[in-house]
Structure 1
Amino acid sequence: MPNQSESNGRSWGLLRQVAQRVLPSFVLIFSCITAPLVAEPASEKTYLGIVKSVDLFGEVYREVATGYVDKIDTSELMYAGIDGMLRSLDPYTVFLDEEDSGELDEMTSGQYVGIGVSIASLDDAFFVTSVVDGYAAAKAGIRVGDTILAINNKDVRKMALADVKAMIKGVAGTSLTFRLARQGSAAPVTATLVREEVRVNTVSYAGVMKGIGYIEMKSFSARSADELRAAFRGLQRDAQEQRVPLKGIILDLRNNPGGLLNAAVDVTSLFVGKGSEVVSIRGRSAESSKSYLTETPPLDAAIPLALLINGESASAAEIVSGAIQDLDRGVIIGERSFGKGLVQSVIRISYDNALKLTTAKYYTPSGRLIQKEIKPAHESRKVLPKAPEGNAQQIFYTKKGRKVYGSGGITPDIPVSEQAMFPFLAELRKKGALFLFSNGYCASNALPPLLPLDRQKLMASFDDFLRKKKFVYTSDSERHLTELKESLKKSQPAEGLPELNTLGALQQEILKLKEQEIGKESSRVAQALEVEILRHYNERLARRAELDHDAQVNKAIEVLSDSRKYASVLHP
């Protein structure tokens, strides 16, 4: 059984590697933070406790691996044990296998090897959903809406999405051949491409709207500050060309999951004075506690600034927004941020695996803890000490004395809720109806349309498309009513059930209400169709069309355009 032996060897090696990494760390920590006379017994006790625990874990693992009634995968058993151990801590302390470790490198470096496309599975086919300008796919003429039929002569139509994505990525300099179906083209389209390093820009869009510069950042990588600086300079040039003064900057951090700590500090340093504290981290030892200050003069320390955040703004995005708020450098608009304020250190371990370990917590300049309260997935064992009372009622003060409250996450100065997506529109997006309809539209129109389109004509075409696709939308009320009817039928014979007649009448009323709601939302559906159609031609045109109807963006433009209103937020 060579595979089983190899698996056992890898698992035991991994266990030894964890022990070798953990034990010296505990000894070092206790040596550094404890007085000499106390350090030796404390470190010895801790050391012996870890040795005992590792030995116990190894013994249980060995007995299960060799004696369990069914044959098991010993590597997966080891990983399950590690995952179970880490789940008792927090959601962010995780074990990364070789594939996960590679994805982490991709995220933090801001680049990957590929051809510059995004794909999705819709309507039982794989579609190209975006093409990055300047890279292999764009150079080869691949378009948004193309359907992937085969890669390197291998039919992919029955494959899993993850497997197709894996085929596209590879070693830089190697080639691959696509066979594509394109609406409006009778014969398949063939394209041969060479894989290359694709740079993933963290600044995804920048533009001037009504004299206000808008910059959207999707993550924080090593190049984020340089990208933001370049975007800012570009906005200044655009404003000059439009012959309007640049009255303010909107930095959109909504749906930004964060990234590198140093990138957050560098981004903040573009707008605040040199030597300003951006964030502090406090860990278990003195060595893991540190304050991060800006080290360079700002790009612009005076231009009015508004940051947009929502419930998906996390980590580095919260560091930036928390610092800007505490230093009274700009106004925060939107919804409370996610509340992810834990520092992870990536420890490389054997067999190209890694351990992402929480080692400290983030605090804003005023002293607020960014991290919201979290409960471990398993509470049967009290691994962590009981947390102190939360700081929800604690009052903190900004540099100019404004009150801010600690409760995890960043609370905006001006709350503005995002417009909730109507369930019918959400279902259209989920099933790819907007995307597929736009494919057909673009096949018949070579140039992007001028907005607004004739919405009455557009919606008539879309309704016809939905009928042909046999698209069915079932509301939550309809689903609940169906479940109730089925429950009644099971409880007793249908004969003599007057309740069913009542439910039948109710069903008709629900259908009427659904049609009324769909009618009321037709303008939003038409707007979404316009954006999706534009996206097939040009991502920038589509994004600009979206922003024109964005309530939070429009609020930021309103505040930045009115100097008195802006000042009243920062000087209450």
Structure 2
Amino acid sequence: MINKNRNRLFTVLGTALIAVLLFSFVNRNDKLFAIAKNLDIFASLVRELDSYYVDEIDAESLVTVGINAMLEELDPYTEYIPEENSDDFRLMTTGEYGGVGALIGNRTGTNMILMPYKGFPAQSGGLRIGDEILKVDTVNVVEKATADISKLLKGPANTDVFVQVKRGEDTISVNLTRRKIVISNVPYYGKIDDQTGYIKLSDFTTNAASDVRKALVDLKSQGVTRLVLDVRDNPGGILKEAVEIVNLFIPKGKEVVSTIGKLESVNAVYKTTKSPLDKDIPLVVLINERSASAAEIVAGALQDYDRAVLIGRKTFGKGLVQTTVPLSYNSQVKVTTAKYYIPSGRCIQAIDYSKKDEMGNSSSIPDSLRNEFTTKNGRIVKDGAGIEPDRMIEPKSYAPITYSLVARSLVFDFGNEFYRQNNSIGAPSDFQISEDIYKDFVSWLEGKEYDYTTYVEKALDDLVKYAEKENYFEEIQPTIKDLKKKVSHNKEQDLITYQEEIKSALKEEIISRYYYQEGVVEASLYDDEDIDLALKVLSDQTELKNILIATAKRKN
């Protein structure tokens, strides 16, 4: 097998080299000659390493490392996709795969089910959140990487797979039949109040626009007269889906985004092609620092047309377009071919990857080089740093004790314990962590490790380091000692002081056991500053209109 791979590798390198050399000879092109020369050097190097290196080498793997290292010099979005990774790539772009329908991951060194998707084989077969994965078919997977387990669980639809898990002290075995798994881009939608609808858009894979359309049609049938579209934490995806989602809210024939690159073939203008579903419904779009790419196109285009009020935090700033180009032997390269520009003319790319410092790091575009543009109503917007919201919400911070309880999976483990002891809970919108449940959690924590450093303790530790470095420590040591004694954290007190945010984390974990992803989203709506502000803006039509014309008035 090694010889076969080696021969195939050298054949590919040789064919590529000959093609480039011939092309170079015909065109007498210095650049192509340089490429051909270096390909020849690269092929010779791999061949000689394979012959002379003291140990056996995996030439194919070595070449892959070289390819990836080369692409790292460009940007994070240009990547090589070997044949064996094509299924994972297809999942990212289509949201479809053959498998059991469960998110798996590693918690504190243990591979387990993190979320079975409702209605798919893992959930209907009885697998639960927190089940530790022991075997897939005949393979013991306890020590395997999560990615390897995922590959074992996937396979053609209608094929069987045996899964063995550990739940508490019990070992459970199930036979599941794989299905074509289609992950919805809209994990939840519903009414926040009598008039306001809410749509959570988590991805832009195939059918994203259709998923949003169906949700909006259903909400309107329930009497919704205003809408919150949530693209927080949405990493983006298919450009066409973004254009069609914008088209739900703006008229036919309007430009949504244009792409401009080095090749004429990648230059394009994308316009709305249909009549909108509702061009008048008052609209708020929620964004944050993890809203990227297609999510930014939707938010930015709706902002540029003054069609929606944006609430939250500045988006990620990915204004680069990737095109997938097929290579030999079913491999592919996803290469950045253009930048996209939204209707005002701005590009929201925040990092300039063409310029790097001595350490090879790229930098953000400085404010002094950001350009001003205007929306339809004349509001000033800028390029070069993502999409900035019309109303900013500061990110929520959590106490060190909460971070520690979550990071050490203690909140997760208690959720499993609670589920084993309680057959049901109230609806996600009604369920709360009662005082009795919280007392049970505090008691359950006894004897468990969750130490942490408070912000003040960290600041004092830093002060000691600087004082020692500058020879002041001896003078201030008594004061430091006294301060440390006063601020030394008390875990029991912190459990009381920060109980509301700890309760919030517990609530999310417990609800996920009974209502899965949809329930978690629904429950979160009732303790969300962004949602609260969205409701306030939407309920005051004067405020809504003032936001959309405020800058224009100041400018005039």
Q: TM-score range by the shorter chain?
A: 0.7 to 0.9
CA RMSD of aligned residues (A): 3.5
What CA deviation, in whole Å up to 9, does each residue of 1:403-459 have, x standing for no partner?
111123111111112312333222222221111101111211111146454643222
Q: Which residue of 1 aligns with 2:539?
A: 561
Aligned partners of 2:15 and 2:368: how far apart in 1? Answer: 38
Aligned partners of 1:388 and 1:433: how far apart in 2? Answer: 41
- Displacement of 1:26 in angstroms is 11
Aligned partners of 1:290 and 1:19: how far apart in 2? Answer: 33
Aligned partners of 2:321 and 2:217: how far apart in 1? Answer: 32
Structure 2 segments unaligned to the other structure (5+ residues):
551-556
Mapped pair 1:141 → 2:139? no
Residue pair 2:402, 2:502 contacting (<8 A) in 1 also: yes
Q: Which residue of 2 aligns with 1:352?
A: 330
Q: Which residue of 2 aligns with 1:278?
A: 256
Aligned partners of 1:437 and 1:259: how far apart in 2? Answer: 35
Q: Which residue of 2 aligns with 1:174?
A: 159
Q: Which residue of 1 aligns with 2:553?
A: none
Residue pair 2:352, 2:365 contacting (<8 A) in 1 also: no
Closer, same or farther: CA 502–417 of 1 in aligned 2, 3 Å: closer
Residue pair 1:96, 1:355 contacting (<8 A) in 2 also: yes
Q: Which residue of 1 aligns with 2:214?
A: 230
- Displacement of 1:148 in angstroms is 3.0
Q: Which residue of 1 aligns with 2:378?
A: 401
Aligned partners of 1:297 and 1:430: how far apart in 2? Answer: 48
Mapped pair 1:206 → 2:189? yes
Mapped pair 1:549 → 2:527? yes
Matched pairs, number? 544
Q: Which residue of 2 aligns with 1:527?
A: 504
Closer, same or farther: CA 139–465 of 1 in aligned 2, 3 Å: same
Aligned partners of 1:11 and 1:474: how far apart in 2? Answer: 53
Aligned partners of 1:503 and 1:17: how far apart in 2? Answer: 70
Q: Paired residue for 1:72, among 43, 51, 57?
A: 57
Mapped pair 1:193 → 2:176? yes
Residue pair 2:21, 2:33 contacting (<8 A) in 1 also: no
Helix, strand or coil for the counterpart of 2:352? coil
Q: Which residue of 2 aligns with 1:511?
A: 488
Aligned partners of 2:466 and 2:365: how far apart in 1? Answer: 47
Closer, same or farther: CA 471–560 of 1 in aligned 2, 3 Å: same
- Displacement of 1:81 in angstroms is 2.1
What CA deviation, in whole Å up to 9, does each residue of 1:103-133 have, x standing for no partner?
1111111111111112233354433222222
Mapped pair 1:472 → 2:456? no
Residue pair 2:454, 2:489 contacting (<8 A) in 1 also: no
Q: Which residue of 2 aligns with 1:12?
A: 10
Q: Which residue of 1 aligns with 2:107?
A: 122
Residues 260-299 of structure 1 correspond to what in structure 2 (within 5 A)?
260-299=238-277
Residues 30-41 of structure 1 correspond to what in structure 2 (within 5 A)?
none
What CA deviation, in whole Å up to 9, does each residue of 1:509-544 have, x standing for no partner?
332377655543211101221221111111333322
What CA deviation, in whole Å up to 9, does each residue of 1:475-514 have, x standing for no partner?
466578779989999xxxxxx9898776554443332377
More deviation in 529-538 or 424-433?
A: 424-433
Aligned partners of 1:55 and 1:10: how far apart in 2? Answer: 16
Aligned partners of 1:381 and 1:122: how far apart in 2? Answer: 34
What CA deviation, in whole Å up to 9, does each residue of 1:12-60 have, x standing for no partner?
3444566689899999xxxxxxxxxxxx97x834433332333343344
Residue pair 2:227, 2:283 contacting (<8 A) in 1 also: yes
Q: Which residue of 2 aligns with 1:31?
A: none
**What residue identity is the alignment partner of 1:8?**
R
Aligned partners of 1:506 and 1:487: how far apart in 2? Answer: 16
More deviation in 84-93 or 71-80?
A: 71-80
Q: Paired residue for 2:85, among 93, 100, 124?
A: 100
Q: Paired residue for 2:42, among 41, 57, 68?
A: 57
Residue pair 1:284, 1:360 contacting (<8 A) in 2 also: yes
Q: Paired residue for 1:460, among 439, 452, 455?
A: 439
More deviation in 389-398 or 351-360?
A: 389-398
**What residue identity is the alignment partner of 2:219?**
L
Q: Which residue of 2 aligns with 1:418?
A: 395
Residue pair 1:449, 1:534 contacting (<8 A) in 2 also: no
Helix, strand or coil for the counterpart of 2:246? helix
Aligned partners of 1:528 and 1:248: how far apart in 2? Answer: 30
- Displacement of 1:327 in angstroms is 1.2
Residue pair 2:300, 2:342 contacting (<8 A) in 1 also: yes
Between the aligned residues of both structures, percent identity stands at 33
Q: Which residue of 2 aligns with 1:492?
A: none
More deviation in 120-129 or 193-202?
A: 120-129
Q: Which residue of 1 aligns with 2:318?
A: 340
Helix, strand or coil for the counterpart of 1:469? coil
**What residue identity is the alignment partner of 1:469?**
K
What CA deviation, in whole Å up to 9, does each residue of 1:195-221 have, x standing for no partner?
111001111110111221111111101
Mapped pair 1:435 → 2:412? yes
More deviation in 280-289 or 141-150?
A: 141-150
**What residue identity is the alignment partner of 1:189?**
I
- Displacement of 1:472 in angstroms is 2.9
**What residue identity is the alignment partner of 2:372?**
I
Residue pair 2:204, 2:237 contacting (<8 A) in 1 also: yes
> What TM-score, normalized to structure 1?
0.85
Aligned partners of 2:4 and 2:476: how far apart in 1? Answer: 65
Q: Which residue of 2 aligns with 1:86?
A: 71
Residue pair 1:88, 1:378 contacting (<8 A) in 2 also: no
What CA deviation, in whole Å up to 9, does each residue of 1:149-177 have, x standing for no partner?
33335443333323322221122221122
Residue pair 2:365, 2:384 contacting (<8 A) in 1 also: no
Q: Which residue of 2 aligns with 1:32?
A: none
Residue pair 2:433, 2:506 contacting (<8 A) in 1 also: no
Helix, strand or coil for the counterpart of 1:512? coil
Q: Which residue of 2 aligns with 1:164?
A: 149
**What residue identity is the alignment partner of 1:457?**
D
Residue pair 2:104, 2:112 contacting (<8 A) in 1 also: yes
Closer, same or farther: CA 287–376 of 1 in aligned 2, 3 Å: closer
Helix, strand or coil for the counterpart of 2:418? helix
Helix, strand or coil for the counterpart of 1:121? strand
Q: Which residue of 1 aligns with 2:227?
A: 249
Helix, strand or coil for the counterpart of 1:235? helix
Mapped pair 1:445 → 2:422? yes
**What residue identity is the alignment partner of 1:284?**
K
